[in-house]
Each structure stands twice: as structure tokens, then as C-alpha cells.
Structure 1
């Protein structure tokens, strides 16, 4: 059985923090307005900011005290009504079945590392052309320009050589 909350509700700490921020912000704001100091504008802005920050605590207090009946939660969080009659039992069975099927598929995909590809997807189509690219390996100690040549097997046109420069890291 839930305890009955009276007065300030469940989030008493948030309420008192909001009140403290409001009082402190108002105090700093009024000091900036009525006291003759050279940094009055800083006090006015700081008071306004503290009052604005108190809105966070007010929102926490308000949202923490929202009462939602369990009957209203049934559709949102998946709670099942106990007295639905014959159709209620069918929906429970369907929900359990779909959960088992979904978790079985998900677990099998995790074990196999993803969906299995068919043979048609893994073979190369007969009309595709293969591109061969040759690259040179460089060591960090080399500071010379290296050229990379690229050629296309199905087309005899060779690409012009390009130069790459490496810097020691």
C-alpha cells in the first residue's frame, strides 16, 4: 500500500529548493535595484538568472507529483488488464507468442553475426568488371615521394600516376 502524501506531495526537496531559489533570486534582484552600488546591473541580472533557474526545481516538483492511475498506464507501458474476459486471454497468448518469436530471431542474428547472405548475393555477377589497384607500402622513416599506379583490367586505359608524400608522425 502506498503512503498517502499530503500537502507538498512526494518531492518535498524539489519544492523547498524552488522556494529557496526564488527567495534568493528576488533578494539579489531587489538589492541590485534599490541599493546604490556600482555593480547593480550584475546583481539585477544574477537575480533574474537565479529566479529563472528556480523554474527547473518547480518543473521537477510538479512532474514528480503527477498522479497516474494504473488503469491509464495499461496501454502505455504494456500492463495487461486482468478482467478482460475471453478476448483478454487471446491477446495475452498472442503477445507472449510474438515476444518469443521476436526474441528468437534477435538471438539467432546475434549468434550468427547478422543475417546469412544467399549464394546469389555473394557471387560476382557476370557483367561486373574487376578493378585492380596497386599500392606501395611506406615506412615512417621514408621521406621520399612515392607513386601509386592504378590500372583498370577491363579497359586498357591506365590512370596517370599520382604522388603521395608522407611525413613522420
Structure 2
């Protein structure tokens, strides 16, 4: 037997939290507007933020009280009726075939990526040489990579203005 929910629905806690956030946020916001204190702008912003955060509790309360009949949930959560033959039998076979194919594809990707990571050797990694240059140097540095190639690095400097 399903419990009977009156008034606020199933999520009364979310409802009361949303109301509390609204009341506290409005109180803080009005305090910042009408009380002459030096941090009134902080109170105005804080009140607006608390009222905005109450929207989270309102969404929880609303979405928690949505009622969907079980007939509409059949296809979404796998509550298919066990009919023999007909359209349900064909759709069940197609669903089983589809899940087998997709799980096979997923497992093949897992095996392929595991093999690729295991076969990668340290010699395939690329080493990059970087050098720093002072402002008086005008000749480019020549760095060497792991493959034995010489790479010419252009001269770059940064300037900063005195303050």
C-alpha cells in the first residue's frame, strides 16, 4: 500500500529549507537596505545570494514530488512486461542484441587501450630541451632532442617597465 501524502508532498524537508532560505535571505537583504551601517552592501549581496540558493531547495522539492505512473516507466527502467510473441518479443530480442553488441564494443576498446599502454616503451617518449637566455645574449641556443636532431631556439626576451 502506498502512503498518502498530504499538503507538502513527499519532500517536506526540502520545502521547509526553501522557505527558511527565502525568509533569511529576505531578512538579510532588507536589513542591508534599510539599516544605516557601513557594510550594508555586503548584507544586500549576501541576502540576494541566499535567496538564489533557495532555488536549489525549490527544485529539489518540485522534482521530488513529480509522480510518474508505472506504465510510463516500463521502457525507461527495464520494467518490460513478459509477453510471449508479438511486438514485445521482437523488441526484447532487439534490446538483447543491442546490449550484447554495445558491451562487446566497450570491452574491445578497454582491451585495445590496455594493450597500447602496456606496449609503449620509454624510447617512444619525446624529450624536449629548454634553455633560458639572458637579455644580453643574442645567439640562439642549440638544444638536442632524444632523436639526435638539433633544434635551433630563437632569441626571446621580456621587458618590464620600471615602476
TM-score by length of 1: 0.57
Q: Counterpart of 1:48? A: 48
Query: Structure 1 residues 100 and 32, CA, compared in 2 at 3 Å: closer, same or farther?
Result: closer
CA deviation after TM superposition for structure 1 residue 92, in Å: 1.6
Could you tell me whether the CA contact under 8 Å between 2:83 and 2:89 is conserved in 1?
no
Query: What is the Cα deviation at residue 62 of structure 1?
Result: 0.7
**Secondary structure of the equivalent of 2:54?**
helix
Aligned twin of 1:76: 76
Q: Tell whether the 8 Å contact from 2:14 to 2:60 is kept in structure 1 after alignment.
A: yes
Rounded Cα–Cα distance in structure 2 between residues aligned with 1:147 and 1:41 = 59
Partner of 2:7: helix, strand, or coil? coil
- Does residue 18 in structure 1 map to residue 41 in structure 2? no
Q: Distance in 2 between matches of 1:84 and 1:112?
A: 38
CA distance, structure 2, for counterparts of residue 40 and residue 106 of structure 1: 57
Q: Secondary structure of the residue that 1:28 maps to in structure 2? A: helix
Listed as ranges, the matches of 1:8-157 within 5 Å are: 8-82=8-82, 86-104=86-104, 106-107=106-107, 109=108, 113=112, 149-150=148-149
Cα distance, 1:83 vs. partner? Answer: 5.4
Long gaps (5+) in structure 1: 115-144, 151-160, 165-169
Q: May I ask how many residue pairs the two structures share in their alignment?
A: 126
1:15 deviates by 0.9
- Tell me, in whole angstroms, the C-alpha distance in 2 between the residues paired with 1:49 and 1:84: 57
